[in-house]
Chains A and B, each alone.
Chain A
């Protein structure tokens, strides 16, 4: 399978392939088992997990397939029907599988203990876990917070040269007002923190300031 075909497949899944090319791709799907396999491999999980939760991605893919078929001129060639049916079955199966996978993701994501769920009562102060540095390439290793399907973002590779501190401060000041209320104070603290004066490794507060 050539890169050109892969590109078309990708554009088709994104709904960005022009109609004439979609029709051609559909024809190729009819006769190319490898291409159908690629469609299945590349799109299924990615399409499901990238969906925004409103419309199952599988339904969108199926709709694009249907639309492409509908746009095709009717040629009345009965001999093509069995093959066409096979392709549609294949794509239908993909859509169903994607739908099932999507439903599974949403079901598991949606499991929230209700208000009546038995609380976990902590009788005393729990052990305090250590504070770790922010990881650039944290794995998708699910800790205690993640007993659910997990989307792993691509790794942030490359050099960590980054911005000069002064420039970074300018961006952070501009961003500060948009930061979530939960973390805005942290962003502010980061802005006025003093690298040189920070107490390396200290875990307890310094002595109280003079009044």
Chain B
């Protein structure tokens, strides 16, 4: 090799990063960390000008996931998850809601692979490395939605632990609508069971149990229209606190974002609700169709919920007048 090509080759090697990085690889590392790590920490949740401080205890032992989330701001509400059972403690309302989904713990699964079908709705980008004041160097990965029906994410993944120490949730136009950032994070493989006991007086609470009942092989309702990529993933009946008759529960997912649709029969003397509600990044849209209360809930833009909910129809009933369909197409 003559000296000139050799120098050029050496210079090109020096210019290359030591290891090419990709967003997909970092997401895989992050998923492995989320699935396997046991840790104790605190994080800040910012949304719509509000800031909440929360403590988290997360343990994975023999395949059983336990998690306790405590609000450190205010009345000390808690959420405790023991594999397939979730209990939300609302001491200010003297209420505890139990949700048990026997045999459905797989639903708390891993992140999907952003390949194949998913690549049509999301684009994963390696952004680069960024040094955070609290945690030092991180790998930054963006999961961008390719339309306005879903949210996007920017994740700061700790280089050593592969934990997402900060995440920004953004709407379709790139505006950050929620930010979670850890302020403290400690790994611990010996978290005791007592760490998952709620710290409030449970004897003073009213307990409400709501659970999925039967899988519904032939759902009585279906969505006539869903955004591109969304498919029915689960259907069944669901007991809901405060409602006598169980609701039909349909879950639509694009592989990452999910929307639950609940269809409740009318309740005598109870006027139906209508409109949009919000809780953090999750929204709900409720309307009345064929005399039933239809409510779509999910971590998607409100207009996505409306799009799905307004197309719900009992099976066997024409989805909508073709004129309306034509109008929708033109919109």
Contact = CB atoms under 8 A, between A and B. Distances in A.
B157 interface: no
B45 A52 contact: no
A170 interface: yes
Interface of B: 17, 20-22, 24-25, 31, 34, 42, 44-54, 56, 69-75, 77-79, 84, 86, 88-90, 92-93, 95, 97, 99, 101, 104, 107-111, 117, 119-120, 123-133, 140, 142-149, 151-153, 155, 167-180, 183, 208, 210, 212, 227-229, 233-234, 238, 240-242, 249, 251, 253, 256-258, 260, 262, 273-286, 295, 297-299, 301-307, 321-323, 325-326, 328-331
Contacts, number: 406
A204 B45 CA distance: 10
A169 to B, nearest CB: 7
Given A6-B323, A193-B45, A206-B73, A126 B258 contact: no
A142 B22 contact: no
Interface in A134-190: 134-146, 148, 150-156, 158-190
A10 B320 CA distance: 11
A10 to B, nearest CB: 4
A177 B54 CA distance: 20
Contacts of B50: 193, 198-202
Determine the main DSSP class of A at the interface with B. loop
Contacts of B132: 125
B302 A156 contact: yes
Contacts of A150: 146-148, 172
**In the complex, which of the residues A132, A140, A144, A170 has the most CB atoms of chain B within 10 Å of its own CB atom?**
A170
B25 to A, nearest CB: 7
B52 A194 contact: yes
B22 A3 contact: no
B119 to A, nearest CB: 6
Contact of A161 (B44, B108, B140, B275): B275
